Structures are given as C-alpha cells and as structure tokens.
Amino acid sequence: MADEASTARARELREHLERWNHEYYVLDAPSIPDADYDRALRELAELERSFPELIDPESPTQRVGAPPLDVFESVAHPIPMLSLDNAFSEDELAAFVRRICDRLDVDETPELVAEPKLDGIAVSLIYRDGRLWRAATRGDGTRGEDITLNVRTIRAIPLRLQGDDWPAELEVRGEIFMPRAGFEAFNEQARRAGEKPFVNPRNAAAGSLRQLDSSITAKRPLDFFAYAAGQHPDDGWPASHWEVLERFRGWGLPVSREARRVASLEACETYYREMEARRDGLAFDIDGIVYKVNAFAAQRELGFVARAPRWAIARKFPAQEAMTTLLGVEFQVGRTGAITPVARLKPVFVGGVTVSNATLHNMDEIARLNLHEDDTVVVRRAGDVIPQVVSVIEERRRENAPVVIAPQSCPVCDSPVERVEGEAALRCTGGLVCPAQRKASLRHFAARRAMDIDGLGDKLIEQLVDRGLVRNVADLYHLTQEQLCALERMGEKSAQKLLGAIEKSRQTTLPRFLFALGIREVGEATAVSLANHLGSLEAIAAADEDTLMAIPDVGPVVAAHVWGFFTSAQQEVVAQLREAGVTWPDVERAVDNDGPLKDQTWVVSGRLESCSRDEAEERLRGLGARTAKSVSGKTTVLLAGPGAGSKLAKAESLGVEVIDEAEFLRRVQAGAEG
C-alpha cells in the first residue's frame, strides 16, 4: 500500500509531466531538457509499478503527448500511435534483448532493424488509392491535429505514390524534421529581418507544421522520413519491417539510408557507436537509435504494454541539454577589446562531457534570457560546438535574485567600458595598455595566416607579457636567447627555434602584415584588397575614409576602423615593427580589376589536389573575384573539395552554385586565356 509521501510524489510528478507535455507538444516551448523529462517519467512509472493503486487512467505513463491544438481539426488515428520505452545504457538494452528472447522462447537474438531516432515531429499520413488523403500529428496518441494542407507543401512527401502495387488504403508513419543546413539558413534570414530565430531544428519543424497559413509552411525547409506502417490490409502485406521499408522506397516514400539489420546485442552496440560518432556530421538531428524486432509474427507474439510495444526500444544518446545552476558570470576581454560574458556553471554532464562553462554571447543575449544570479539554466552542447545557455527555468529562481548587469569598467585593466551604437558587444577602451588585449593581439599576430611565428603559443605569450618582456608585438623582435631560456619549460634548443621563427617572420607580405596588425573588421580578404588597390602601407595609412570606401569589400564600418587605426597611437607600433626589420616585397597596385570573375563572391572549402585553398583564393582574386570564408546568400560559387561538410550543405540549401576542382581549373584556365 502506498504511503502518504509516495502518493504525494506521484501526484507532483503527474502535474509536472502534464505541464511539460503542454509546453513541448502544444506550445513548442519546452522549459526543461528531454533528459529531465525522461527521468521524471521513469520515476513515476517506477512508483506506479511498486504501488498499482497509484495508476491513474490520465497519468502521462498511460498516454502519449498532449491533446491537439483547438485551432486545428481533431482527427482519430485508425490505430493508436504509441511511444517507445527508452534504454539509457548498454545494460538496459541487454535487458530488452533478454526479455524478447524469453518471451519468444529462443536462445539467439532475433533479427532487429536499427534506425536513427530522428528529433522531429511524428506524423501519420493516410493514402487512399495511392493519393495523400490526410496528414495528422501524433497528438495524444489516439487523436491528433489535421495538418494535411501544411504537409502537402513538403516536397519530400509524395502526393501520389509511385507504382501500382500499393493497397487501397495505407497509413504511413514517419518523422517531419528540418535539416541542419536549412535550419541555419532559415535562422540567418530571420535574424536579418529582425525576427526571433528558433532555438533548435525540432522546434523549427514543430512551429512550421502548426502554421494556420500553409503558404508559410511551404517556405520552410522541411524534410520527411517514413519509418513504419500504421493501418494496412493483411492480404499481400510483407512479413517483416525491413520489407515494408523496401516497399516504401518503391512507392516513392523517403526512408533513412542509415537503417540496418542486426542480429546480436554486439551488432546493436556497434551500430550505436558508429552512429554516435557520426551524429554531428549528419545532415539532420538524431537523439538515439530505435531497435525493432523485424518479423511481424514475432511482433504480434510480443505484443504491447500500456503505452509502448514490447518489440521496440529507443537507445538514447547522452543528453545534449541538461539543467544546472549558474554560479556566476565572468566577463572576458578579447583581442579587439570586446568583452564577452561567460557563464560559470555547477559542473553537469551533457553531450558526452562535463561542462562547467558556457557562452552567453553578449549583453543582448543576457537580456533575452532575463538572466539572474544563481538561476537554474538549461545548457546545450552538440558535438564540438561551444556549450551555450539556451534558457532559464524562471520558476526555480530564488526570490529577489539580482539581475546580471554589464560591467562599467574593464575587468582586467579597469579602463572604462563603451558600447558603440548599433553593436551588441561591450568594449574595453584600454587598447594595448590592457594586458588581456595585449596577449590576444600577440596570439593573432603570431598565427599561421598572419606572421606565422611557429612555437609562440599561449603559455609562452602569458609568460612574456606577465614578466614584462613584451609590451607590444614589436618587442618580439628584440627578444634574446638569454631571456627566453629563463622562462619555464624553455630550453636552449626551443629558444633557438623560436628565435629562428621570429627572424623568418621579418620577411612577409603586405596583406599578411595588415591582417596581423589586428585592425577591427580587417580579415584576410580585406587585407588583400587594401594592399592591391593602394599598393603600399604608406598609402593605406594616408588614405581618408572616402578613399578607403572606394575599394571593393570596404564599407563605411571597415573604412572607419582602418582610418582610426592609422591615426591613433597604434601607428607607433607599426613604426617600431618597420624599424625592427619587418619588410615585404613591393605590391603591384591594381587599377580596376575587370577580370572575368568581377562582382562574384567565391568560397573555397574541402581538400584540393592541385593547390592549397589559399592558392586557389589567390587565383580567384587575380581574376577579379572576391573570396569569403563562409557561405551566405551573397555567395556566387562554392568550390567544394572532399570534406566540404557544412558549407556544402548550406550552399545546397541556399541554391548556391557548387563546382568541383576540375571545373574550377577549367574556369581559371579560361579566365587566364580570356
């Protein structure tokens, strides 16, 4: 018999789960990570197993999701759309396999089908006489929302099945999702339009499907994979799930290419590890693996529990979101003086690692989050992406908790902090008197694409600045072997090697030198434009803003930063570098490059065989093209070699022309001859 504490806890868990269900399924605004929801659901299920009298027909353990939105017509599913039980470890998956074998009374694991568990929106599609008749969300598992008009706009979903061997009535179940590249492009457009971006692809897909105006859904980059059949005739129907997937493909329904048949626990784990390793490189989000008994006869024998089939389970990946406590906000100073807030967190395991810090981007983001001291926050980490705070659990906020505010002075040098109109970042006004900017400037100056001083790493820079040996970048050229050998972990050979690299860097190019100076907004491509169009450092230093703005890729913001740099005390550092012997060959000044690629913007990505990416960009600029490091709506062509990755996906989603190395070489040759 359940005691008072167990009864109260079950009631509390049901209330929490119902509210979280409403936020997730109806509002598309979840306030907690999936891992915390799963944990609460498992606790409630365990209580109900221990005390059956606590089971309530309305309990979240007895149904799936939440009721449909009132604004859409509610429709009944021919067969309930059930959820899946979860396995969070290899042991739990092994227990699932043992239960299957015991119920089927077999010694060896029956054949299973393993498929990625898509992080999207489950839907039911009903085809009558081969034509899409109705589409509905899962809803509460028994009834869903009629979203037919919206689903008809998704190109991945056929309005008419291919072939002629499909049944007169067929229910197809699958997942609608937003691919990562489409999600990034959509959010970029939203930001440009001043609109609020979506938090993740799953929310973006849900919001797109729940548009009352289907023309809005039509503009969203949605995709679909079919993963099961619901209602179907028994006559002539395949004997296994794998055969159904093959039928789907034949009828023109998209099915995941990652599905695989496995016949042992070891094969299940191998597939899981492979997909976990590939997870962040896929074109879409997945949060685990679904294993299903392949043979339908075995599925029927295994049957169902209240809310899930006994013949299937979801093996979840480590959570990419988790809740933790904000311990404080630290403001870090970067190379250009930008002050970035970083959240210090109570350590939490998320995305496969323990996270104790997360980015907060800027004060605008802190305001958006409405962040207070000691808040309970949700942290997200996906792959190698820097962890970030995505939301605050305001209901857990302590009373009278202070709001996180911006610093009035630099946390490193105590210089005043300014915020330029139109910019989100705070900036320290200390310049090179600020040790934080000094160290960051040295790191940038020594980088491979700048002065390329091999061996000048972070720890060595810390020592050089902290001991007062280097006050600015020009001091590097006056270091002695005796000074270097006195530093920690710096032997005679290491000191000689570093001095050799410093000596080698005295011979550089004007674009590299300009880039190395760290002028705000002057990247590699802009440095090349400045050098090519003005020809000398003296001409660049003497140019006014109007002259600078006449150069391609130099707008008013960049012109102001370049002009400001060369009319400030920074000019003294430049003079010291020249006195130290830093030099470069003369630059042949470009008049007006009317090459065949004029007004085109190219991006180079991936591995090239005939030349390096830097050399390819040089050739393109020689033919009049602008080069950029990221793909956007302004990109004309992407040169994509093997390993182009996310840039290729984004180019395809934006309709940017993509060419391979052979076509690039053909165009370069034609341009050179032309």
Residue 2 neighbours by CB distance under 10 Å = 16
* Residue 441 Cα to chain centre, angstroms: 28
CA–CA distance, 393 with 32 (Å, rounded to integer): 7
Measured torsion, CA atoms of residues 27, 32, 34, 39, in degrees rounded to the nearest 10: -130
Q: CB count, 10 Å around CB of 422?
A: 6
Name residue 65's beta-bridge partners. none
Nearest CA among 139, 168, 18 for reference residue 76: 139
Angle of the 34-50 helix axis to the 4-21 helix axis, nearest 10: 140
Give the whole-angstrom CA distance, residue 536 versus residue 522. 16
C-alpha closest to that of 462 among 486, 480, 440 = 440
For 494, left (φ over 0), alpha (ψ -120 to 50), or beta?
alpha
**CA-CA distance, 657 to 249, in Å (whole number)?**
29
Q: Token pair for residue 341?
A: 């807030």
For residue 339, the cross-strand partners are 333, 426
Residue 291 CA to residue 619 CA, distance in Å, equals 51
Task: Determine the Cα–Cα distance for residues 541 and 396; give it in Å rounded to an integer.
Answer: 56
Cβ proximity of 627 and 573 under 8 Å: no
Question: What percent helix, strand, coil does the chain show, rounded to 5?
Answer: 40, 20, 40
Instruction: For 548-598, give the secondary structure using H, E and C.
Output: HHCCCCCCHHHHHHHHHHHCCCHHHHHHHHHHCCCECCCCCCCCCCCCCCC
Q: Do 354 and 445 form a contact (C-beta atoms < 8 A)?
A: no
Pure H helices in 31-147: 34-50, 90-104
Measure the CA–CA gap between 213 and 209, rounded to whole angstroms. Answer: 10
Determine the residue type at 455. G
196 is catalytic: no
Could you tell me where the DSSP H helices lie in 80-239?
Answer: 90-104, 148-151, 180-192, 201-209, 214-218
Query: Which DSSP letter does residue 196 get?
Result: P
Is 601 in a helix, a strand, or coil?
Answer: strand
Which of the residues 117, 316, 439, 647 is marked catalytic?
Answer: 117
Distance CA 308, CA 349 (A): 28
Q: Which of 82, 576, 507, 511 is nearest to 307 (CA)?
A: 82
Burial of 647 (0-12, 13-18, 19+ CB in 10 A): buried
Q: DSSP label at 310?
A: T
Ordered DSSP codes for 371-382: -BTT-EEEEE--
Query: Within 13 Å of residue 295, how many CA atoms lie on the same side as its CB?
Result: 10
Closest CA to 44 of 78, 20, 22, 72: 20
Contact 329, 305 (CB under 8 A): no
Q: Which two tokens stand for residue 19?
A: 């509210």
**Structure token digits, residue 97:** 């396999």
Q: Which residues are catalytic?
A: 117
